[in-house]
């Protein structure tokens, strides 16, 4: 059986020109230099207006016409159906079954990266939105009126999405027993979870409306939409438009609990990295205590991993909260709640950086499997060869360990510098006076340096 590689522990790094920890010092110097450059040169907010301009009518028409929407929705539903079918009927070996790699690697990691450049690409392909819209249209045609929905409790904001995000990652890295496989969840469990989630999502859409739920509660819409807010294309009022990159992120976090979604994203990725490194000892020790207390080994491992995952999320929240409270001490600061929500979008590039840094090699290796044997033999039963690529495999030599390390460092540095830029821009909007704005950003600089050093430390431990 071919085992999936760990996210970043495939082979030991070759000799680097300087020790790994010096990269953290170098990255911190880059951040500090960026901070001073921004303080001097960036005096007006530039991302408060996304300066969207509509693209040519022909292109808009082709991409946003109803037939295209139906086609994209149908593709989404079809692929979800294939994944569920493969999960239920295919092999139980996670690395040979289409469902696991497709759901947890191709979709989960592919859409954030694609969205960061292009915009919210997931939206047209969202299978639940497609089904919900068809159901709503059918209801309207039969009943002669649009379906009535309950008013969404606005105070709830994006909490359902934040909780759902943690639950999804929990399913992937805590519920699935490990044992050397990156995503070791059984395909059958993944398929059942997808069916349960589909039922839940469609019920919520029926209650609160399709678009309302997609914007607030549907985990994948919110999560991929968050990264999509960094991208430059946007469909609005029936027309495709080109907007200033990163600018839409500034208005993404206006709903309550948006910060919780970003923090959950970073916290869960941190846990996934730390459990192979610094948390390996503590989780093992606490797990042993629970086993000694009479719990089964699997139950103990799950309880401990769940607790530590939530602790990681709480730790990331604490760092952000320190930054926010620090900013609140600067003269002329807006109320704490406004600050907390107003700077949440500055963590989006960091969440993306952590995602790329942590899963880059996994993505590159697993996509080779996705587009060779998993595509031709989705059930993994060695009985089909749909595209003649069933005998294909993964070439682990396509990336050297050092290349992976440099991509990881690059992603972390660029992500944090972008976070710093977004934070400085928001500060100039909140404080007006650029000197006070720069003063407030000492705190966000500390947050960024802390996240960068943490990220590099986790990668260095996992790679060694």
Partner 1 sequence: MATLLPLAHVSHYLWVLYVPPVLIVVGSIVWNMRSERRRRD
Contact track, partner 1, 426-445, x by CB under 8 A: ----------------xx-x
Q: In angstroms, rounded to a whole number, what is the distance separating the alpha carbons of residues 43 and 429?
A: 9
Binding-site size for partner 1 (CB under 8 A) equals 22
List the x/- string, 326-355, binding to partner 1 by CB under 8 A. x--x--------------------------
Subset of residues 147 to 166 that bind partner 1, contact rule: CB under 8 A: none
Least distance between partner 1 and beta carbon 433 (Å): 15
DSSP assignment string, 59-97: HHHHHHSHHHHHHHHHHHHHHHHHHHHHHHHS-S-GGG-
In 3D space, the residue among 192, 2, 190 whose CA is nearest the CA of residue 102 turns out to be 190
Q: Residue 315 interacts with partner 1 (CB under 8 A)?
A: no
d(Cα 438, Cα 39) in Å, to the nearest integer? 5
Q: Which is nearer to partner 1, 29 or 386 (CB)?
A: 29
Q: Where are the alpha helices (DSSP H) in 229-296?
A: 249-252, 258-274, 280-292
If the CB atoms of residues 32 and 407 are measured against partner 1, the closer one turns out to be 32
**Is 464 near partner 1 (CB under 8 A)?**
yes
User: Cβ 446 to partner 1, closest distance in Å?
Assistant: 5
Q: Which is nearer to partner 1, 25 or 78 (CB)?
A: 25
Q: Give whichever of 219 and 327 is closer to partner 1, judged by the CB atom.
A: 327
Asked if 36 touches partner 1 (CB under 8 A), the answer is no
Q: At 282, give phi and psi (nearest 5°).
A: -60, -40
Q: How many CA atoms lie within 13 A of 346 on its CB side?
A: 26
How far apart are the C-alpha atoms of 162 and 313, rounded to whole Å?
Answer: 11
456 binds partner 1 (CB under 8 A): yes
**Interface characters, 274-293, with partner 1 (x: CB under 8 A):** ----x---------------
Candidate residues 379, 422, 449, 462; the one interacting with partner 1 per rule CB under 8 A = 449
Tell me which residue of 242, 263, 243 sits closest to 324, measured CA to CA: 263
Rg (CA), the chain: 23
Q: Which of 186, 361, 408, 460 binds partner 1 (CB under 8 A)?
A: 460
Q: What does the alpha-carbon distance between residue 49 and residue 47 come to, in Å, rounded to a whole number?
A: 5
In sequence order, what E strands does 300-360 have? none
Near partner 1 in 56-85, by CB under 8 A:
none
Tokens at residue 364, please?
A: 């590159």
Which residues here bind partner 1, judged by CB under 8 A?
A: 19, 21, 24-25, 28, 32, 278, 326, 329, 442-443, 445-446, 449-450, 453-454, 456-457, 460-461, 464
């Amino acid at each position: 059986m071919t085992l999936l590689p760990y996210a970043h522990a495939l082979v030991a790094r070759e000799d680097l020109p300087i020790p790994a920890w010096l990269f953290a010092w170098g990255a911190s110097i880059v951040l500090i230099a960026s901070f001073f450059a921004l303080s001097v040169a960036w005096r007006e907010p530039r991302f408060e207006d996304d300066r969207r301009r509509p693209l040519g009518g022909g292109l808009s028409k082709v991409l946003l016409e109803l037939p295209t929407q139906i086609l994209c929705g149908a593709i989404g539903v079809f692929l979800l159906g294939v994944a569920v079918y493969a999960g239920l009927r295919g092999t139980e070996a996670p690395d040979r079954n289409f469902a696991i790699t497709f759901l947890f690697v191709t979709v989960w990691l592919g859409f954030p990266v694609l969205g960061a450049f292009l915009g919210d690409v997931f939206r047209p392909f969202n299978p639940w939105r497609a089904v919900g819209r068809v159901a709503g249209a059918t209801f309207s045609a039969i009943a002669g009126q649009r379906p009535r929905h309950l008013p969404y409790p606005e105070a709830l904001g994006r909490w359902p999405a934040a909780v759902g995000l943690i639950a999804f990652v929990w399913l992937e890295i805590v519920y699935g027993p490990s044992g050397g496989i990156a995503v070791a969840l059984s395909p059958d469990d993944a398929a059942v979870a997808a069916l349960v989630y589909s039922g839940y999502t469609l019920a919520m859409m029926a209650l609160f409306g399709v678009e309302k739920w997609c914007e607030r509660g549907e985990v994948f819409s919110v999560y991929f939409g968050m990264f999509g807010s960094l991208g430059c294309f946007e469909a609005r009022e029936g027309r495709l438009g080109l907007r200033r990159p990163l600018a839409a992120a500034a208005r993404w976090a206006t709903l309550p609990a948006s910060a919780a979604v970003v923090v959950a994203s970073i916290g869960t990725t941190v846990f996934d990295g730390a459990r192979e490194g610094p948390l390996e000892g503590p989780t093992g020790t606490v797990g042993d205590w629970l086993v000694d207390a009479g719990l089964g080994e699997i139950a103990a491992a799950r309880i401990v991993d769940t607790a530590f995952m939530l602790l990681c999320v709480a730790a990331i929240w604490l760092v952000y909260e320190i930054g926010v409270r620090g900013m609140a001490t600067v003269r002329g600061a807006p109320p704490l709640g406004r600050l907390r929500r107003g700077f949440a979008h500055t963590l989006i590039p960091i969440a993306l950086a952590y995602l790329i840094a942590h899963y880059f090699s996994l993505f590159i290796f697993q996509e080779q499997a996705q587009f060779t044997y998993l595509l031709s033999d989705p059930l993994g039963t060695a009985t089909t060869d749909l595209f003649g690529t069933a005998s294909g495999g993964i070439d682990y030599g396509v990336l050297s360990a050092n290349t992976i390390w440099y991509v990881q460092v690059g992603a972390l540095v660029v992500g944090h510098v972008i976070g710093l830029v977004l934070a400085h821009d928001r500060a100039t909007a909140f404080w007006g006076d650029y000197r006070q704005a720069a003063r407030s950003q000492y705190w966000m600089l500390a947050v960024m340096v802390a996240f960068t050093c943490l990220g590099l430390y986790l990668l260095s431990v996992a790679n060694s």
